[in-house]
């Protein structure tokens, strides 16, 4: 089963609104990363948060990490139509050099 | 543009055939990863190479194999293709093999097996 599970599976909002996506995982991690994928294209790295960090910002993105709850959230503020994409969380486990384990993603639609 | 290139963009072939997908990593990146993305399985890690050597293996079928060449480009070979192998195949690269390096993804190769 997937290590990371995003919620919701799909989200539709109006331009200008904030979008929040959540990710839960099962085992302890070294870091957690968020990626964006436009339809049928390659993934684009958005932000990496380490297990000893609680919050990180990048432009209109804010990521939080709660290791006690094994969860992370991605907030996109003042959304734009161009933010329409699928968003994936990916975890790097603590157990040695394991590759990224991706969730199934949240499909975000921002309506102009 | 991530700097990772993949060829071909699209590939349509018949069951039982063999194909080779090619990936060139970003300049300076030593690590290459292959992923398969399908509607039902999501994004699945297949295999990782670092500086020519296999580093980690995921859900890669025995019918699939990969290698990384001295110039660091990588090829993914898929043989005895089945309908279920139809998917998007992504290559990604990172500067090192470690845990805290972001990966840069190529545009993918869409494989359709008929």
Q: Across the strands, what pairs with B90?
A: B35
DSSP 8-state code for residue A3: S
Q: What is the mean pLDDT of chain B?
A: 93
Which residue is associated with the tokens 């060449």?
Answer: B69
Taking CB atoms and an 8 Å cutoff, what residues of chain B touch A103? 42
How much is the average pLDDT of A45-71? 96
The proportion of chain B whose per-residue pLDDT surpasses 90, expressed as a percent, equals 79
What does the pLDDT read at residue B1? 84
What does the pLDDT read at residue A1? 46
- Please, are residues B98 and B39 in contact by the beta-carbon 8 Å criterion? no
Q: Could you report the per-residue pLDDT of A94-111, keeping only the tens digit for each? A: 765 667 888 889 999 999
Answer whether A40 sits within 8 Å of B4, measured CB to CB.
Answer: no
Answer whether A97 sits within 8 Å of B97, measured CB to CB.
Answer: yes
Closest-approach residue (CA) in chain A for B100 = A31
A–B interface: beta-carbon pairs under 8 A: 60
What does the pLDDT read at residue A62? 98
What does the pLDDT read at residue A95? 62
- Please, are residues A2 and A101 in contact by the beta-carbon 8 Å criterion? yes
A4 touches chain B (CB under 8 A): no
Closest-approach residue (CA) in chain B for A96 = B99
Locate B14 and state its tokens. 């018949």
How much is the average pLDDT of B78-95? 95
Closest-approach residue (CA) in chain A for B4 = A42
Rounded Cα distance, A50 and A8, in Å: 23
């Amino acid at each position: 089963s997937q290590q990371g599970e995003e919620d919701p599976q799909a989200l539709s909002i109006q331009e200008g609104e904030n979008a929040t996506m959540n990710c839960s995982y099962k085992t302890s991690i070294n870091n957690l990363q968020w990626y964006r994928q436009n339809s049928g294209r390659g993934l684009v790295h958005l932000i990496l948060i380490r297990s000893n960090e609680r919050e990180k910002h990048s432009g209109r993105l804010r990521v939080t990490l709660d290791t006690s709850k094994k969860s992370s959230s991605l907030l996109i503020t003042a959304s734009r139509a161009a933010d329409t994409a699928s968003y994936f969380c990916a975890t790097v486990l603590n157990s040695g050099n394991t590759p990224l384990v991706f969730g199934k993603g949240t499909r975000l639609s921002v309506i102009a | 543009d991530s700097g990772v290139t993949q060829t071909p963009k699209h590939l349509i072939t018949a069951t039982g055939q063999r194909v080779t997908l090619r990936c060139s990593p970003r300049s300076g990146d030593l690590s290459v990863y292959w992923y398969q993305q399908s509607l039902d399985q999501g994004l699945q890690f297949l295999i990782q190479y670092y500086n020519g050597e296999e580093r980690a293996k995921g859900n890669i079928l025995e019918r699939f194999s990969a290698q990384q060449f001295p110039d660091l480009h990588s090829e993914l070979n898929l043989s005895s293709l089945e309908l279920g192998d139809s998917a998007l195949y992504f290559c990604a690269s990172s500067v090192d093999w470690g845990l805290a390096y972001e990966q840069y993804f190529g545009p993918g190769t869409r494989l359709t097996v008929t």
